[in-house]
Amino acid sequence: MDTDLTPEKIRIIVQGMIILLFSICVHEFGHAYAADRIGDRLPRRQGRVTLNPMAHADPIGTLLLPFLFLATTNGLGFGWGKPVEHTTHDRKKRVFISFAGPAMNVVLAVIVAVLHSALVAGGIVKLDAEISRALEYAVILNFVLFFFNLLPAAPLDGGSVVRGLIPRGWLDAWDKYAVYAPFVVMAFILVGPLGKIFTLPARFCADKLYEVLALIFGTTDLSHWVHLVWGIK
């Protein structure tokens, strides 16, 4: 456990907090925007249809816990944003709202990767620069958030997506499982090997995205420079 606040440590903390804050903001905005688009005005009345990070930040899940993890381990550990409330009861619409959050993380990952590739291709940013590493980290983190949030376990979005897609006759069994689902989520967070279920696909998607962008921008294979995060092997 490293608790010395060296300049490098402070940089890691600030960088990680900024990336996580905006990633969670985009995720929760996706839920709010999707609900608003189907006519549920509750998120808009609560000020959630916005990209203002503070509208979506949870004091503990977005700020305190990630800060503590970064200060002691150099990793973000886990966190969450303020849940978006909605009044929609239609199962298909609820699936749309639930999936919109993780989908927005993919959109953000692609936008950041395109920006990064353009900066490298234009000679504005070097591949081994700190800003380059930060952008790579943001891309992988958002793919991680996509796959992690789609795990079929409440309170993750994947739990709501599965519940909205399974036959109605299976709902009672699913709801009984949902009681224990938070423990399943904690197992994926705390048991290292289980985490590869969402970190390895995230790395794969980041690699392939950078390979495509390298071809588009005519640069060196950018995927070679995508750094592993959280000890992915």
Positions marked active-site = 28
CA pair distance 66, 68, nearest whole angstrom: 5
CA pair distance 69, 3, nearest whole angstrom: 10
- 100 φ, ψ to 5°? -60, -35
CA pair distance 131, 118, nearest whole angstrom: 13
Rounded to whole angstroms, what are the CA distances from 107 to 13, 84, 112, 166, 199? 24, 19, 9, 27, 18
According to DSSP, the residues that pair with 181 across neighbouring strands are none
User: Greatest CA separation found in the chain?
Assistant: 58
Q: What are the tokens at 67? A: 């800060």
Computed on alpha carbons and rounded to an integer, the radius of gyration of the chain in Å comes to: 18
CA pair distance 95, 60, nearest whole angstrom: 27
